[in-house]
Amino acid sequence: MSLDCRIVHDVLAMPLIPIVQEVGYRGLPIDTSKRDDMLFDIQLRSGSLAGELRAAGIDAYKSSKALGFQLKELGVPLTVTTEGGQLKTDLEIIGRLNWDLNTKREREGQAPKFPPLKALMAYKRLEKARTNLEAIIPCDDGMLRTRLQAVGTRTARYASAGFGSKNKAGFCNVCRVWGAHGTNLQNIPKDNKELGVNVKEIFVAHDGWLLGELDAKAFELVIQAHRIKSPKMIERLETPGMDIHSIHARLMYEDFPGKGTPIGDRQRGTMKNVLYGMRGGGRDRALLAAMAKKDEFYELSDMAKFRAVIEGEYPEQPAWIEETDLRLELALAHGERRVIRNAFGRPRLLFGRSPLKEALATEISGTAAEIMNFVLLRLAVYHPEEFRYVCLQIHDSLIVHAPKAIFWHVMEVVKNEMERAVWLWGDVVTIGCDMKFGEQWSGMKEAA
């Protein structure tokens, strides 16, 4: 199926604008006292870490530039710089140094070289959590709302943001005042067990109501499997009880030289990041960065093993990436426009010298976004009463906030629409949906 630009604009894009605005304006209820308590706790812990860092001779942690000079003077071997020549001191760099100078040496029975790096990592993470919490500013009625932007976004996704722009107050159409409120609800951070910070704890349902989350199962991987026509990936994703990332972790870690690490959530998470990174056309350094997010640190020389695991299981993936790259290069060489389409025909014009990542994202993430667009449209048109309780879309999931008396009815209606069969590159595909529920966003229970 292919849609021309006019049909995409008239039939899909324009009707969705008021729908996504309505969803954003509904908002999520938050417990401001819990948010303030969490902020206070973070500030106390940050202050304690700041004192520990000052005792070690580090007091320039508020400025990346000054911190780089100070760490250099203390003997920390910083070598990576920005394009402007400034020493980089982000979490990935500090995490890598902590691994090389401390963690790895301790595992080998040696004394750590610069122990304060661990405290510096914790401080940076707490400060990031504090910044995220401070950006969560509700309206006068205690609801946190987001402004969903329907234009100027990539891959047909809708961008989420607070009202106004950076350092400039915005106008909320609900509380009808100017000020700093709203936030980017798409990027609410996940539970950080190491820091003991879970921002989702502050989202609490009204009395007599429940919060529910409906999440499409392995959404983009299912789309990718049918795009690249990989029988093994399709089979694994469709087999009940089979976890594809755990399979990759066993293949990777059980015989990885010198590791001997038990396979658990961390290794599973690393292989998940590797698979998504490779699918997006990421090179070895990008894969290292993805692993660093899980505090898993490797050398560039290790990347061949990671690639061998994924490409050995799914040779169709590198073939698809190579074919897409060649198609883009040929179009450029012949002076033609480089246009990529998702599974439903929505076109995207590509610019730049090498837009491979954007092309791959359009086919996979763009198709996922389009499917969610269809879900929102169907709910708004065919189930308006139930749709009024859908209060947020986060990529491949929907959040419901509804009274207990009708909660499960609303959840079933939304689930049925999310599990409608779709046509993906010649295949009729049904993507399953997981349901969770609870009185707060954190710690939701799996629905039976």
Q: Output the pLDDT for position 36.
A: 92
Instruction: Enumerate residues 6+ apart whose C-beta is below 8 A from 223.
Output: 343, 364, 367, 368, 424
Establish if 65 belongs to a structural domain: yes
**In terms of DSSP bridges, do strands 397-403 and 422-424 run parallel, antiparallel, or are they unpaired?**
unpaired
Domain span at 80: 31-130
Band of residue 137 on the pLDDT scale cut at 50, 70, 90:
confident
Per the domain annotation, does 273 fall within a domain?
no
Residue pair 436/408 in contact (Cβ under 8 Å)? The answer is no
Average pLDDT of span 215-241 = 94
Return the pLDDT at 258: 46
The domain total for the chain is 1
Is the pLDDT score of 2 beyond 60?
no
Inter-residue contact 156 to 168 (CB < 8 Å): no
Does residue 49 belong to any structural domain of this protein? yes
Instruction: List the CATH number of the domain containing 48.
Output: 1.20.1060
**176's tokens:** 């009808």
Asked, for residue 23, whether it belongs to a domain, the answer is no
Asked whether residue 404 is domain-assigned, the answer is: no
For residues 400 and 407, the answer to whether their CB atoms sit within 8 Å is yes
On whether residue 411 sits in a domain, the answer given is: no
- Band the pLDDT of 174: cuts 50, 70, 90: confident
SS3 (DSSP) at 390:
strand
Contacts with 263 (C-beta within 8 Å, 6 or more apart), sequence order: 246, 249, 250, 253, 254
* 275 part of a folded domain: no
| 163 assigned to some structural domain | no
Q: What is the pLDDT of residue 1?
A: 44
The pTM for the full model equals 0.87
The predicted model gives 370-378 an average pLDDT of 91
Range in 6-20, 164-178, 311-325 with the lowest mean pLDDT: 164-178
